[in-house]
Amino acid sequence: MNASETGSKSLAGQSGSPRWRLAAAAGAVAIVLLMIVLRPGCIRQQSRDLSAALSQQLEEQKTKTDDLRSAMRYLRQITPMTRDVVAREVRLELNTWLQGVDLGQAAFTPSPLLDDLPRDMLETVGCRTPLELTFSYWDVDYLYQCYMMNALSGWVVDFPLRDSLVARMLEPVRDELEPEEALKLEEACKLFDWTTRNIALDPPGSSVEQLVLDPQPPLVDGAPGYRNLPWESLLYSYADAIERGRVFTSLCQQRGIETYWVAVHAERPPSQIWAVAALIGDRLWLFEPRLAMPIVDPDALRLATLRDALENPRVLRRLDLPGRFDYGLDPGATGEIELLIDVPPTAASARMKLLEQSLLGDERMVLYRDLERAQQLASQIAPSASVRLWQVPLMAQVQAASVRDRLQRMSDFTLNYFAMHGVWMMENPAAEGRLKHLFGQFENTMDGRGALSLYMDSRIDDERIQKLAYDPDVQRELGFTRRSGEELEQFQTRLQQAQIVLRQAKVDAAYLMAQLHFDRGNYSAAENWFLKRVINSPDPRAQKWHAISHYALARVYQELSKLDDAAEHLTWQPSPQEAGNRLRLRYLRAIADGQGAADAPNQATPQPPDTDREDPASDEANPDAPRG
């Protein structure tokens, strides 16, 4: 036996002895006691570490939330006058917020429909790729548009449908729809009616006798379809047929209503633009911006769908007005149909999807459009139609970028643009009132003045406007004082511009006041303002609003069941909407004569004005009331 074996046996013998077992047990007890003594300290340390980690996480989350809340707060401060300055702040806050966002939550895959858009135009508006995780200036501009459309659509759908004719045509289809679908279709009718009644139709590109060709690059000043962005058309209250329709599609977007422009293939490209289709239920309901009317089934006097128009030749044939107008789309010319998705490319980007998912409470609005879903839904309803992303929204953004650059320097273009839109580009009560009107802020509140009061403030007498050129007291009163460091010649030029703007603002505010009274169901006050301050105004500047005012006044008489008075204004000429007005008159007379389908319900009773309307004798309702 060697020494190592002897030692091993010796250690084995010792470890098995009672004395060694007692020592081992004592050591174990000591370790347990040590753990008992040290454990509270470990727990406290772990608790402190966990608390610190949670605090850091909450602080990071708060910082991200603060960045997003700040961006939304700045967004609410944008006006046409502060557009560039405030948009920079919104961009800064949004891009800071985006740096701390978990990008995995977007679950985003770019749509192949984006591949058909021109690369150079995408570059111009900062949308090179939908995966770009930086907000551009034009992203913020689109965000502001959604914010405005969301606010406007919210209060419009809360009011009754102020069109007894369309309400009557809506009734026959209600029983064919689920309750939610019927509600959505009524909302679409409200939004379309508000759009076509409030936005005057510009003659170029608005004839019903020929369809407009789908606009294509290169861009040209004055071409129909993309001169203004939808929110600008809202502000200016003036648009061509495509721009008017784009306001409607933008409003529908905020209410979760899928819309498509319907185009028909021409013998040679490009396609021809026809109408807007709203996807509700399993049908595409047609709305015609040039006619200011939904497309109607003439046999049943009910709202018509795309399938109705394609399968029943009378739907299109009865849009002709023999001896006056031949509608631009023949029943046999609807062979190949395209459905065009009306959103700018940024609406289909990862950054807009992330932002929409992060908005909470009253900040929520629709920013993202799932192009694949939109294509799939349209293909299910109209399998024979092709679906593509319309490039007109991108063209409108590129045109807006060009206008923005050119306005930075004085030129004939700048002077002409200012002559057309100066009222909305300078601080004045009419411009402020228009924004309050669009955002549904009609009355004065503790936070500020409402649209009604601001429109009244635009009624500045001619004597004070004349004195603005030389009277310091009037300059201070109207808010046009000489700025620090401003050259005298520049100041005098600015005063001359202000005089032009204030004279036009009086007329524009009168028209907008009449429309606001109609919006609220105060028909007697609306009649008073349309007649006295617009149609019969001696100011030649009011002629811009004559056509739309005659139409709106006819709508007042329609709701008051005064068909003869309505007919007088629906047949007024010259109006770029004359075909639609006469078509409306045909439907009104058919209902009055008891014509239409045998199973059609009786004419809807005109809805009474809202109970919260102003007294027509009040200062706001009476345009002849003196101002202090």
Flag the least confident range among 8-17, 363-372, 433-442. 8-17
Instruction: Dig out the tokens for 35 from the structure.
Output: 């753990």
**Cα(63)–Cα(66) distance, integer angstroms:** 5
For tokens 């279709």, the residue is 185
Which ranges of 299-370 does DSSP label H, i.e. alpha helix?
306-311, 313-317, 350-358
Question: What pLDDT score does 622 carry?
Answer: 57
Asked whether the predicted pLDDT for residue 271 surpasses 90, the reply is: yes
Helix (H) or strand (E) holding 176: none
Question: What pLDDT score does 569 carry?
Answer: 98
Kindly report each contact of residues 309-317 with a partner whose C-beta sits within 8 Å and lies 24 or more positions away, as own/partner. Answer: 309/334, 310/334, 310/337
What average pLDDT does the segment 500-509 reach?
95
For tokens 């409402």, the residue is 450
The SS3 assignment for 479 reads coil
For tokens 């944008």, the residue is 78
Domain ranges in the chain are 419-560+606-628
Peptide bond into 270 cis (omega under 30): yes
The SS3 assignment for 580 reads helix
What average pLDDT does the segment 418-435 reach?
92
Asked whether the predicted pLDDT for residue 598 surpasses 90, the reply is: no
pLDDT band at 42 (very low <50, low <70, confident <90, very high): low
By C-alpha distance, which of 142, 577, 123 is closest to 356?
A: 142
Question: What pLDDT score does 268 carry?
Answer: 75
Residue 591: CB atoms within 10 A of its CB come to: 20
The SS3 assignment for 124 reads helix
Asked whether the predicted pLDDT for residue 216 surpasses 90, the reply is: yes
Which ranges of 76-136 does DSSP label H, i.e. alpha helix?
83-99, 119-124
Question: What pLDDT score does 447 carry?
Answer: 86
Helix (H) or strand (E) holding 142: helix 137-158
Question: What pLDDT score does 293 carry?
Answer: 97
**Cα(406)–Cα(403) distance, integer angstroms:** 5
The mean of the pLDDT values for the chain is: 87
What average pLDDT does the segment 289-311 reach?
96
Highest mean pLDDT among 101-110, 134-143, 597-606: 134-143
Asked whether the predicted pLDDT for residue 43 surpasses 70, the reply is: no
**Cα(549)–Cα(558) distance, integer angstroms:** 14
pLDDT in tens, 519-578: 999 999 999 999 999 999 999 999 999 999 999 999 999 999 999 999 999 999 999 999
Asked whether the predicted pLDDT for residue 611 surpasses 90, the reply is: no
Flag the least confident range among 19-28, 85-94, 490-499, 512-521. 19-28
**Cα(30)–Cα(33) distance, integer angstroms:** 5
Question: What pLDDT score does 83 carry?
Answer: 92
Question: What pLDDT score does 269 carry?
Answer: 82
Q: What separation in angstroms does the CA of 115 have from each of 38, 48, 446, 458?
A: 65, 53, 50, 48
By C-alpha distance, which of 369, 214, 367, 198 is closest to 279?
A: 369
pLDDT band at 32 (very low <50, low <70, confident <90, very high): very low
pLDDT in tens, 84-107: 999 999 999 999 999 988 877 778
Beta strands in 208-342 (DSSP E): 212-213, 238-239, 258-264, 272-280, 283-288, 293-294, 296-297, 302-303, 337-341
Higher-pLDDT residue of 58, 254: 254
Question: What pLDDT score does 613 carry?
Answer: 40
Question: What pLDDT score does 233 carry?
Answer: 97
Q: What separation in angstroms does the CA of 122 have from each of 372, 399, 545?
A: 20, 12, 36
Instruction: Dig out the tokens for 177 from the structure.
Output: 């729809």
The model's pTM = 0.86
Mode of pairing for the β-strands spanning 296-297 and 302-303 = antiparallel
Question: What pLDDT score does 48 carry?
Answer: 62
